């Protein structure tokens, strides 16, 4: 299973842009390259890299003339193992409830027949030894 994809949501003023935090280069905008950024670009980015400065370094049109106080960041992951687990549990629980709803009438009928049968003891089952 591939690791979950992380994204950095950069909000400048009231507008926001989502930037994938993967190693593939983007054509829409890439952080300004200087010596510090070059050494960082060789490692896979994580949510720790999703900072206000990261968003400002992208030179996004929505962040033009923005200061660090005007920028808000949020990091999130898509397709994480936790999300998949929640979805699978929901699907199995829903499927189980649908199956139970389908077989419940037969189960109740079988229980009623068994209860009626168990109310009577066979005549030969009495122990008359004294």
In a domain, 63, yes or no: yes
Residues 64 and 12 in one domain: yes
Do both 72 and 91 map to the same domain?
Answer: no
If asked whether residues 65 and 99 sit together in one domain, one would say no
Residue 56: which pLDDT band, with cuts at 50, 70 and 90? Answer: very high
Whole-angstrom distance, CA of residue 20 vs CA of residue 105? 51
Q: What's this model's pTM, rounded to 2 decimal places?
A: 0.51
Q: Which of 4, 54, 49, 65 is nearest to 29 (CA)?
A: 54
Residue carrying structure tokens 């109740």: 108
Query: Model confidence over 78-104: pLDDT tens digits?
Result: 877 888 899 999 999 999 999 999 999
Tell me whether residue 129 is in a domain. Answer: no
Q: What are the start-end ranges of the E strands in 21-124?
A: 71-78
User: In the numeric block, which tokens belong to residue 62?
Assistant: 């929505």
* Average pLDDT of the chain, as a whole number: 81
Query: What does the pLDDT read at residue 42?
Result: 58
**Residue ranges making up the domain that contains 107:** 84-118
| 19 and 68 belong to one structural domain | yes
The residues that bridge with 19 in the sheet, in sequence order, are 8
Q: What is the pLDDT of residue 44?
A: 79
d(CA 60, CA 10): 9
């Amino acid at each position: 299973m591939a690791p979950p994809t992380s994204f950095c949501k950069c909000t400048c003023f009231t507008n926001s842009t989502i930037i994938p935090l993967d190693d593939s280069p983007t054509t829409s905008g890439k952080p300004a390259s200087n010596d510090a950024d070059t050494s960082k670009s060789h490692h896979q980015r994580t949510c720790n890299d999703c900072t206000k400065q990261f968003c400002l370094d992208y030179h996004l049109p929505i962040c033009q003339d923005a200061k660090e106080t005007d920028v808000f960041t949020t990091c999130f992951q898509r397709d994480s193992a936790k999300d998949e687990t929640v979805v699978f549990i929901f699907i199995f629980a829903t499927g189980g409830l649908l199956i139970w709803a389908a077989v419940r009438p037969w189960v109740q009928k079988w229980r009623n027949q068994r209860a009626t049968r168990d109310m009577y003891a066979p005549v030969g089952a009495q122990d008359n030894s004294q």
